[in-house]
Amino acid sequence: MKAIRVHEFGGPEVLKLEDVPTPKPSAGQVLVRIHAAGVNPYDTYMRAGTYAVKPALPYTPGSDGAGVVEAVGEGVKKVKQGDRVYTARTLTGAYAEYALALEEQVHPLPEKIDFKQGAGLWVPYGTAYHALHHSAKAHASETVLVHGASGGVGIAALQIARAIGLKVLGTAGTPKGLEIAKREGAHQAFDHRKAGYQEEILQATHNRGVDIILEMLANVNLAHDTKLLANNGRVIVIGSRGEVTINARELMGRRASIRAFTLWAITPEEEADIHAGIFAGLENGTLRPIVGKELPLDEAARTHKEILEPGAAGKLVLVC
């Protein structure tokens, strides 16, 4: 089979398309013919060797794939050959024509969701679901600011927040991103490249502040986020690419808090919740993964450059 292999940590150029043996499922494992793989920012940090999780070399990147079950190992009951599935982590990597996964890492993909959309489920929707439900414990009567609403996690968060009933504000950095944010659930969208946009956000809440901020770039925004919160508000840090200084007094006066997590560290119960929520949302139409760009597997290096560039407009996927 064709697979992307990384033999040394480094820049996008270390992603090489190679021929490797197609794996065979052992007991409790599932072999999936991957039709599309989602590219996530963490894939690039891992490839660079700077991420908390460092895989043994060589490895094939990718936790998010969608495709059809090719074969199952002994004892597998959850899926059978021919089933459409998405993966939430794999054993051998999703940037490949086939991926081996544990039975618990594959999940049913509703008929109406195509494979490219299915490749944008686990990390984006899992993160957004965990941030809103488990971390922020969002209520329908609250206002959420999705700070970075045009990318994978942001769009998922808009859709989930709208489905729960919150008032939803979103930000993006381009006209296209702003249009997507409004289309996918933001009642109002703000340009995070425009000077003074935070004042516009406050005005949109009649100076009360927002209850929840889902923050995609904490190193840039966290200090100001604390000033946008209502009483008992909480910032949920999802993404951060550097250090930041904050004034804790802004939190104290508001009884506010900052929480943070990585999807790697959630509990099995939380993960079960997430997959049940994703499946239900896909079936009832409240969740609709948006594919912004698709590229063939041999262009993996290009996707690793583009995913870190500004101007997000949906999910970046590799067609395998």
In the complex, the residues that contact ligand NAP under the rule CB under 6 A are 40-42, 123-124, 127, 147-154, 171-174, 177, 192, 216-217, 220-221, 238-239, 261-263, 307, 310-312
Ranked by CB distance to ligand NAP, the top (closest) residue is: 151
> Least distance in Å: CB of 194 to ligand NAP?
11
Q: Supply the minimum distance, in Å, between the C-beta of residue 200 and ligand NAP.
A: 14
Query: Is 103 or 294 the residue whose CB approaches ligand NAP more closely?
Result: 294
* Residue 131 neighbours by CB under 8 Å, 6+ apart: 153, 157, 214, 236, 238, 261
Residue nearer to ligand NAP on the CB measure, 15 or 316: 316
Tell me whether residue 232 or residue 262 sits nearer to ligand NAP (CB atom).
Answer: 262
Which residue's entry shows tokens 């488990």? 134
Minimum distance from residue 281 beta carbon to ligand NAP (Å) = 17
294 and 303 in contact (C-beta within 8 Å)?
Answer: no
Cβ-contact 320, 97 below 8 angstroms: yes
- 79 token code pair: 């899926």
Q: What does the angle CA 79 – CA 37 – CA 314 come to, to the nearest 5 degrees?
A: 120
Nearest CB to ligand NAP, comparing residues 85 and 216: 216
Nearer to ligand NAP, 9 or 261 (CB): 261
Q: Residue 215 and residue 262: Cα distance in Å, rounded?
A: 13
**In the complex, minimum distance from the CB of residue 19 to ligand NAP, in angstroms, rounded to a whole number:** 30
Closer Cβ to ligand NAP, 231 or 262, answer by number: 262
Alpha helices in the chain (DSSP H): 41-48, 115-118, 122-129, 152-164, 175-183, 197-204, 218-228, 248-252, 268-284, 300-306
Beta carbons of 124 and 153 less than 8 angstroms apart: yes
Q: How far is the CB of 30 from ligand NAP (least distance, A)?
A: 24
Q: Shortest Cβ distance from residue 53 to ligand NAP (Å)?
A: 11
